[in-house]
Amino acid sequence: MKLTENMLQKVEGQKEKIGQLLLKHTSLSEDQLNEALQIQRESGLLIGEILLKKNYIHPHDIVKVICHQIDIPYIQEIDVDAIDVEIIQNIPINYAKNHELIPIIETQKNVTVIMTDPFNFDAINDLREIFKKDINVIVSSPLKVNDAINRVYERANKNMVQSLEDNFEDNLDLDGPIDILDAGADEAPVIRFVNSIIFRAVKERATDIHIEPYEKESVYRFRINRVMTEILRQPLKTHSAVASRIKVMAKLDIAEKRLPQDGRIPIKIAGKDIDIRLSTVPVGNGERIVMRVLEKNNNILRLENLGFHGQVLADLDDLSSRKHGVVYVSGPTGHGKTTTLFAMLDRINTPDRMIITVEDPVEYEIQGISQIQVNHKIDLSFAKALRAILRQNPDVIMVGETRDQETAEMALQASLTGHFVLSTIHTNDASSVPNRLIDMDVQPFMIASSLAGVLAQRLIRTLCKECKKPKKVTKYDLEVLGIDALPKGAELFESQGCPKCDYKGYDGVTVVCELLMINDEIRTLIINKADAGKVKKAAQRYGMKTLRHDAIEKVLMGITSVDEMVRAINVEENEEE
Ligand SMILES: [Zn+2]
């Protein structure tokens, strides 16, 4: 239990009584109190603080005294046998233990809870949310509360295993409640059990839930802060009911138990949107269930939202799902390279993949992904971090930036040993990347065998929809666009600026890009150290749309202006950064 400053102050407010109250309600002796009062006169410290430091009282003694002062019921003994196990169905045991609380009585209007800390308002709020009723608090000692938690949960667990065995697969409830905390006592035990596991995972900020069937038992483990921890075991008999219930939630085929399946479970917990990505794999004793728990936030990065579409989007999807290979995103600083990488990672952030990133700095925090921050002070460079990461054998590695031979070689090498690697690199276009790597003294054959694709991108501002209007086409416009006349029906736009766009004329950004997909012909060119121009020509023959081309298209579609195109395309990479 944590003693807050607030509590100590509260006791201190009644200086004359505190000593007497502690004498009366705790094992504090008169001599000890006098000694503390003496120290207080010299030091000016709070009396409670002194007594605690001297170990004359236990932190809980302070709470006890506060309860007497402000009339919160305090009980010495808890009648554990009188507690109905139904009442703890929706409270995970770890939650009860962490907050040292146990609900004991539920009526139509309210729920009475015994806690060690009546000022734990976070927990009281949680309970109000869970029960949707007012909460009455009674206080007892940590020893008594913990003992009650252990005994009541043990009794509940026995009941649950019994009913899971009895009910097996009937009553799986095809729809289920929308918010899992709304599941009442009338739901089937398996539903309440699965809900409580998910609730517990979210509460404990677990990123993965593993449920694995062994010879006699089904083992439940959570990954919290990258570390797997066993949380409970159940008899193997219960495994198939639990697996079926989870598959129902993900709308998977529950009859299919011999093939791996993937699915998603969108769920609400206490009003929070949670996205669970599920994968099932048949193993010896049943199906291994792995769930990745992702809290939905509003600014989820999606390639579509960033402006990728059509063939490029399809190719990026193809690249993201590879088991090995290196993909680089290139472009000037401030043109969204990292954002694109994270949108790609989000697409493949599923429970069957272990993803580790090394970044400088960590820009987005993503659940389910282990992120490492480069630290030059302690000499933790990209290369050094990468070496450490490889020992953990991840499936996907994201290296924030490639700027030296060591980092480049390790990334390419990692891909050869079965890792998928994403990184950024500084070049003006996609076709220059192989040569940039050769300039770093990387062997051409290594590049040729590992490189899967290169995306070059720029952010380009979009014309304000409120104030944009067609403009007269000038000779300069046509020159920039490299055409003699506008295609039929096409128009060029400009904007004057209006209150809506803050008189800037532009109201957002989108991406223009070129995606170089590495094929056999380009591989040969790389091995022969062909220049970027040749690589580009070959790629265009296979349908690569260049940055310039993509920008021209966006100008002709009226998304952006000729001026903006010139500005964005001609940004030169600043090598100093
Ligand atoms: Zn405007």
Please give the C-alpha separations between residue 58 and each of 9, 63, 137, 288, 505, in angstroms, as whole numbers.
16, 9, 21, 46, 67
Distance 507 CA to ligand 1 centre (A): 7
Q: How far is the CA of 560 from the centre of ligand 1 (A)?
A: 13
Among 98-112, 188-202, 436-450, 490-504, the range of highest mean pLDDT: 436-450
Q: 481 CA to middle of ligand 1, Å?
A: 24
Residue 435: predicted pLDDT: 96
Q: What are the tens digits of pLDDT across the range 364-374? A: 777 778 888 88
Using the mean position of ligand 1's atoms as its centre, give its distance from the Cα of residue 551 in Å: 21
**What is the layout of strands, in order, in the sheet containing 261-269?**
227-235, 217-224, 208-213, 286-295, 272-283, 261-269
Confidence of residue 575 (pLDDT cuts 50, 70, 90): very low
Q: What is the pLDDT of residues 282-324, one digit of tens each?
A: 888 889 999 988 876 645 578 988 899 999 999 999 999 899 9
Cα 496–497–502 angle (5° rounding)? Answer: 170
The CA 554 to ligand 1 mean position distance, Å, reads 18
How far does the centroid of ligand 1 lie from the alpha carbon of residue 510, in Å?
A: 16
Distances in Å between the Cα of 44 and the Cα atoms of 6, 49, 500 are: 17, 11, 60
- 395 closest CA partner among 426, 376, 370, 372: 370
Q: Write down the mean pLDDT value for the chain.
A: 85
What spacing in Å lies between the alpha carbon of 463 and ligand 1's midpoint?
8
The overall pTM is greater than 0.85: no
503 Ramachandran zone, left/alpha/beta (phi>0; psi -120 to 50): left
* Measured distance CA(274)–CA(298) in Å, rounded: 12
Nearest to 118 by CA among 137, 102, 140: 137
456 Cα–ligand 1 center, Å? 29
Distance 274 CA to ligand 1 centre (A): 37
DSSP label of 84: -
| Alpha carbon of 561 to ligand 1 centroid (Å) | 13
Among 193-197, 363-367, 437-441, whose mean pLDDT is lowest?
363-367
Band of residue 476 on the pLDDT scale cut at 50, 70, 90: very high
Ramachandran assignment for 393, one of left (phi > 0), alpha (psi -120 to 50 degrees), beta (any other): left
At 456 the pLDDT is 97
The pLDDT tens digits for 317-370 are 999 989 999 999 999 888 889 889 989 998 888 888 889 999 887 777 777 788
Tell me the CA–centroid distance for residue 509 and ligand 1, in Å: 14
Task: Give 376's pLDDT tier (boundaries 50, 70, 90).
Answer: confident
> How many A from CA of 494 to the centre of ligand 1?
10
Q: Mark out the alpha helices in 428-531 (DSSP H runs).
A: 433-439, 444-450, 475-481, 520-527
Interval between CA 467 and ligand 1 midpoint (Å): 4
Residues 6+ apart with CB under 8 A from 298: none
pLDDT band at 494 (very low <50, low <70, confident <90, very high): very high
| Ligand 1 mean position, distance from CA 468 (Å) | 7
